[in-house]
Structure formats: C-alpha cells, structure tokens
Amino acid sequence: MTGGQAHPLPLLGECDSCGAANGVIFHHPDGQQEHYCPRCAQRYALYNAAYDQLEAGIREVVEAWVSIWGTIPGVVDLHEQLRQIGAQVEADYKTGCFDREGVQPFPRAA
C-alpha cells in the first residue's frame, strides 16, 4: 500500500496489484489509497463483500454458541476451536464437499 502520503496520488497510475497501466485511485475504508485497474478494483470489492458476509455469519453463530457454552470453564477456547474448525472446513472445501456455484447473476425484473 502506498497510502498515507503527504502529497495526493495522481489520478492515473500503474495498478498496485497487477501492474496494468490503467490504474485509477482506489480509496480504502481506512483512508489508504492505491491505484487499481478496473479488474483488480472489482476483485478487491468482491473479496471484501465475501469476507464480510462470512464474518457476519460466523459471528452470529459464535454469539449464539457463547450464550449457551460460554460460562462452562474449560470449554471456551474460541481461538483454538475456530482454528481447528476453520482448518477442517477448508480441507472439506478443497476436497469438493461444498457446492461451488460462484457469483450468480441478479434475477431479471418481471
């Protein structure tokens, strides 16, 4: 990342992700700025949306789980449990245990 500059970035520049010549300024939520080409800007936005959705789903499940198990000594070790579960879920994903439908198009209005 090249953000935090005392001088503003030029509007156009080399993509900081892939090196393409058609990068434009991309503003990150934390105030950092980089040059991203349209393809990398789209990929970055999709990655963030997918991450946020996964985090929200996990957070909701963990909150419900903690409300049930959270007071039992020796049971709650979220870091270790989530690490082990995450590793197993990733292994299952890599072996094809989940559908990989990808991004679906928006349905057309009737």
Nearer to Zn ion (CB atom), residue 18 or residue 89: 18
Could you report how far apart the first and last alpha carbons of the chain are, in Å?
Answer: 44
Torsion of CA 52, 81, 69, 50, to 10 degrees: 10
Nearer to Zn ion (CB atom), residue 21 or residue 85: 21
Smallest gap from Cβ 34 to Zn ion, in A, equals: 10
Contact positions vs Zn ion (CB under 5 A): 15, 17-18, 20, 37, 40
Smallest gap from Cβ 52 to Zn ion, in A, equals: 22
Smallest gap from Cβ 107 to Zn ion, in A, equals: 30
**106 to 25, 65, 94, 103: CA distances (angstroms):** 28, 33, 27, 9
Distance CA 78, CA 66 (A): 9
Nearer to Zn ion (CB atom), residue 25 or residue 62: 25
